Amino acid sequence: MSMPSRLQIRATPQYQAELSNADEARYCFTYHIEIVNQGEERVQLLEREWLITDGDGQQQTVRGPGVVGEQPFIAPGETFDYQSSVTLRTPLGFMTGFYQFQDQQGGLFKAEIPLFTLAVPHLLH
């Protein structure tokens, strides 16, 4: 069951040139995630699932408990934010996915993470 109106999720990616090496096909990106609880009750982030696609169309799925070692509770009106990173073999890629949350009654629901682009600056015009 999905309840997108309950949560707002924003992703802000950034290329990390100092960690990347084009000669070795290593392009590093960080991404900052903000999760805003717009609902009426506290929720807990239990799991994440990412679909990472590089510029060659190669896909990788990453799933696991929580985010950055946490399974945070987010109260109504609160924002939980964190930063993580990903390394691609191409200078362009995309990420999307979902978080699984639990509400105060124990019900589970998914919140979609909107697709965002990972791109070396000036690659796209």
pLDDT score recorded for residue 69:
93
Proportion of the chain in helix, strand, coil states, percent, rounded to 5:
5, 65, 30
C-alpha distances (whole Å) from 83 to each of 60, 69, 103, 108 are 19, 12, 24, 24
Q: Record the pTM.
A: 0.90
Q: Where are the domains of the chain?
A: 7-116
What number is the average pLDDT over the span 2-22?
87
Is the Cβ–Cβ distance between 59 and 30 less than 8 Å? Answer: no
C-alpha distances (whole Å) from 118 to each of 28, 41, 46, 99 are 9, 33, 25, 20
Query: Which of 46, 94, 112 lies closest to 74 in space, CA to CA?
Result: 46
pLDDT score recorded for residue 119:
96
> For 41-58, what is each residue's pLDDT tens digit?
999 999 999 999 999 999
Domain 7-116, architecture per CATH: Sandwich (2.60)
